[in-house]
Structure 1
Amino acid sequence: MFVKICGMTTPGDATFAVNSGADAVGMVVCSESLREIPLERAAEIIAAVGSRAATVCVTHTSSRDELTAILALQPTAVQISHDFSFPDERAVRVIRVLEPGDPPRADCDAVIVDASRGTGRRYDGEYARRIVRDSPVPVYLAGGLTPENVGEAIREVRPYAVDVCSGLEAAPGIKDRRKVVSFLRACRI
């Protein structure tokens, strides 16, 4: 199971997650969020992780200028909720955010079923299963995941990947390292 740990605010938390087995780390930028970090901090996290894992800049911006600044950081992927268009040939992967009711999308490299946006609200299982079944691209599952319930979510929905944020925190933006390890272990069983 591919695992993305999102809401990273420090290089230390990001490198701990990667060293513990996370496949990707996410940083919230150019968005109103308790976990939003400046682009300079995101650049530090991307540099600290290097090529050891994927780096994903998560944004809800509708500004093309902000998107350009985010892309200049050269993350592995950008996760967006706004309906930006991208050329077919691009240096970054595009993950589009889907909320219940949204149709599957093919104009991206993956989709993430996530109405939670870091609030811990549980995903809609029926909708998530339908998107996994109908999607032409890989599907990430997010929303209310914790070390205690991620195994059940994986069995129920069968996504390509899981994405967790608030379910691993000691405080907003600060990861609880024991929960990080427990979550990764639960995903690999």
Structure 2
Amino acid sequence: MPKWQDPADHGHGLLAALPRPDWQLLAAGAVVFGLQRLVPAYEDSYKNWYPKLRKPSWNPPNWMFPAVWIPLKVMQSAALWLIWKSAPANGRMSVALPIGVFLTHALLGNQWNVAFFGQHDMKGSLKWMGAFWVSIAATIASFHAVDPVAAYLMIPTQVWVTVAAKLNWDIVQLNTSGKDM
């Protein structure tokens, strides 16, 4: 048996050189990616309804959405982890507000998906997008008070959601008549 596989080898070899997993970081990732799974897939909307909508000339290609959202979710996971780690072990209530604001932003993002892709309520989705945008700004502010790095990790999400909000607005404008607005 190679030395790195020897279970009796305490503190030596390849396994000892690897960093120990941080279960709290993994849990933060599970929360961030898990909350997103609360929203149904809406495959039919992605394949049939959305492609038929009129979109602005600057509309990003479909592959760009997961290519951007996955790294953003990783950064959100790291930000949530930093906030959780900043609280003393016996004083987790000190981060309850920032974590609550973070969870609110995640749930509002999910609700936008339900309104836009699930219900095809383009006009109504603008309200959810606005609340989502504000909740990300509130998350950044509440995180900054605890750990500025965590706040900085959320800024790219704010930027991307600003782009998404403009896209949402433009799609509504292109696909509804003036009397619908």
TM-score when normalising by structure 2: 0.26
**More strand by percentage:** 1
**More helix by percentage:** 2
